[in-house]
Amino acid sequence: MRQWTKKLAALALWGLALPLLAAPHAVVDGVQAPAWVERGGARLALAPGMALESRDRLVTGFGGRALVQMADGSAVRVGENGHVGLNALGRKENGVFTAALEVAKGAFRLTTDIFRRSSDRRAINVQIGTVTAGIRGTDIWGRSDDQRDFVCLLEGRITASHPGGALVQLDQPLQFYGADKGKGPDPVASVDAAQVEKWARETELEAGSGLQKRGGRWGVRLGTYVDQAAALAVYDRATAAGYGVRIVPRQNGKTYELRLGQIPGQEEAEKLASRLAQELALPAARPYRR
């Protein structure tokens, strides 16, 4: 019972079990497993609706994606095998929304006002490996990997910098700026639209891949257990694998059902049920409509 209580308390602290007292600065809008959030030395699988805080780190695995809604209406997209830190989330006294995003690894996209047209002012800085971009209302895509760090302007205007070069301004769509690891930055150049479209697909949630989205009306039942320890063991195994499942007590606490929710359609639910059955050896995983 003590382990069960500690698990429920942990879920509440992560913003999954209790209502928030104040509007969060960032909320998970969509997930393509495997994906996690790291906070204070702990790691929990991402789930739609999860509130995020400063110093949280988003982590995605092979095939993973994450879509996060920021309080100013911006969208943060993280591609597979990504590591993105969320820092300095907040508002100044003059109402300006602030964020410092650290892309340590993987593909990343920031699009302002994607969730709503907003009059909010913002001061967002994005560090993509060794390249830093200052955002003032725009759309950018970037990547950091073992060979290179770069940022590409899709719309608007940004300033960019590198420790080995001077501050530059990108104000034309499809301009990009970057540097090979261990070297100084290259001059600002341009890339064709076909390449940008290819890059953009790396950070989009993929329909038919088994994604979760806020407001989804489908779910997957992983199984029902009469033993708390057995339910917790499956929960821990699913979370470690990057699936944001939850435990639902049934029959006045006599049985425990594990569910994966907020799936936007039957095809996505069937895909996730099949993956869970294979990857976690859960043959009882079945889709259902809420």
Q: Domain 211-289, what architecture?
A: 2-Layer Sandwich (3.30)
Regions of the chain with pLDDT less than 50? 2, 5-6, 8-20, 117
pLDDT at site 118: 53
pLDDT at site 6: 45
Let me know if domain 54-201 sits in CATH 2.60.120.1440.
yes
pLDDT at site 112: 83
pLDDT at site 168: 96
pLDDT at site 16: 47
pLDDT at site 121: 79
From residue 213, how far is each of 32, 108, 278 by CA, in Å? 9, 19, 22
The alpha-helical segments, DSSP class H, found in 155-246 are 193-201, 228-240
pLDDT at site 215: 95
How far is Cα 12 from Cα 6, in angstroms, rounded to an integer? 10
pLDDT at site 18: 38
The H or E element containing residue 13 is helix 2-13
Looking up tokens 């003590």 gives 2
pLDDT at site 17: 38
pTM above 0.85, yes or no: yes
Is residue 41 within 8 Å of 167, Cβ to Cβ?
Answer: no
Buried b (16+ CB within 10 A) or exposed e, 115-153: beebebebebbbbbbbbbbbbebbbbbbbbeeebbbbbb
CA nearest to 212, candidates 14, 26, 45: 45
How far is Cα 118 from Cα 94, in angstroms, rounded to an integer? 16
Buried b (16+ CB within 10 A) or exposed e, 169-200: ebeeebbbbbbeeeeebeebeeeeeeebeebb
Q: Cis omega before residue 34 (within 30°)?
A: yes
From residue 10, how far is each of 4, 15, 39, 44 by CA, in Å? 10, 9, 12, 10
CA nearest to 170, candidates 149, 191, 193: 191
Mention every residue, 6+ apart, whose C-beta is less than 8 A from residue 288: 218, 219, 220, 221, 269
pLDDT at site 7: 54
Is residue 111 within 8 Å of 118, Cβ to Cβ?
Answer: no
pLDDT at site 115: 67
pLDDT at site 122: 84
Domain ranges of the chain: 54-201, 211-289
Bridge partners of 212, per DSSP, are 31
pLDDT at site 144: 97
Tokens of 218: 């489908």
